[in-house]
Amino acid sequence: MKILNLHGYKGSSENCACTTLCEMGFEVLSPELEYDNCLPEEILQTLDKAVTQNNIDLIVGTSLGGFYGAVLSARTKLPAIFINPCLMPFVYLPRLGFQMSTDPFIPLFGELINIDKQNISVIVGGKDEIIDSHDFTENFFANERFRIVPDGKHSGATLPLKEYFTDVISCYSKEKNDKRCYF
C-alpha cells in the first residue's frame, strides 16, 4: 500500500505519522510542503500530481495536512486518515502567524461536501491546544472510526498512532472488495 503523508503547518515531512507508518512497513511519500510560500490551489495541484504519478492508495494528513488531505480525498475519492485535522484553516492559521490571505481556503472548504465520509478515519486529541474544538470535525465525520484520545494534544506524538493505524488501515487494503470498514 502506498501512502501520501501530509504534515501540518510549520511541521515536517518526517512527522510522527510518517515515522510510524514507515516503522509499520508501509511505502510512504511525505513531501515537504511550503504552506507559507504557495497558494492553496498550487499545493493541491502538486499533491494531485503526486497521487497520480505514485499510484497512491491512501492519504494521511495531520492538522493543515488534514485539510489538504480532505480536499484531495473529495477530489480523488481516495480513502484518508486524519490526525487532528484543521478543517477550517481560515479560522486557525491567522492565530499561528500565517501571513497570506486565508480567502483561498474558503471555496476549498466548500469542496468537502463531496467527500465520502465513510472512507475517512479520524483521531483527535481531547486536549488539543491548537484547535480548540473538534466538534465540527466530529459532527462532519461521525462514523465508527472517529476516535477522541482524552489526554491527547495536537502533536501526533501524544496519540496512539500505531494502534489506530493498525485498527483502521486494514479497512482500506486493496485485497478487500469493500474498502469501508465498520466497528
User: Which CATH number covers residue 32?
Assistant: 3.40.50.1820
Q: Does residue 8 form part of some domain?
A: yes
Q: Does residue 106 form part of some domain?
A: yes
For 31-87, how does the pLDDT look when each residue is reduced to its tens digit (9 = 90+)? 999 999 999 999 999 999 999 999 999 999 999 999 999 999 999 999 999 999 999
Closest by alpha carbon to 83, among 15, 31, 22?
Answer: 15
Q: Does residue 62 form part of some domain?
A: yes
Strand partners, 5: 60
Closest by alpha carbon to 135, among 81, 90, 87?
Answer: 87
What is the model's pLDDT at position 117? 93
The DSSP call for residue 93 is G
What is the model's pLDDT at position 178? 42
Q: Does residue 182 form part of some domain?
A: no
Q: How many CA atoms lie within 13 A of 1 on its CB side?
A: 24
Domain tally, the chain: 1
What is the model's pLDDT at position 180? 40
For 123-142, how does the pLDDT look when each residue is reduced to its tens digit (9 = 90+)? 999 999 999 889 999 999 98
Confidence class for position 174, pLDDT limits 50, 70, 90? low
What does the buried/exposed string (b/e) look like for 79-89 if buried means 16 or more CB atoms within 10 Å of the residue's CB? bbbbbbbbbbb
What is the model's pLDDT at position 181? 38
What is the model's pLDDT at position 2? 96
What is the model's pLDDT at position 179? 40
**Cα–Cα distance measured from residue 143 to residue 146, given in angstroms and rounded to the nearest whole number:** 6
For 76-119, how does the pLDDT look when each residue is reduced to its tens digit (9 = 90+)? 999 999 999 999 999 999 999 999 999 999 999 999 999 999 99
Q: Does residue 96 form part of some domain?
A: yes
Decide if 115 contacts 74 (C-beta within 8 A): yes
Written as nine digits, the cell of 111 is: 469542496
Q: Does residue 42 form part of some domain?
A: yes
**pTM of the predicted structure, to 2 decimals:** 0.93
Q: Residue 117's domain spans which residues? A: 2-172
What is the model's pLDDT at position 171? 83
Q: Does residue 21 form part of some domain?
A: yes
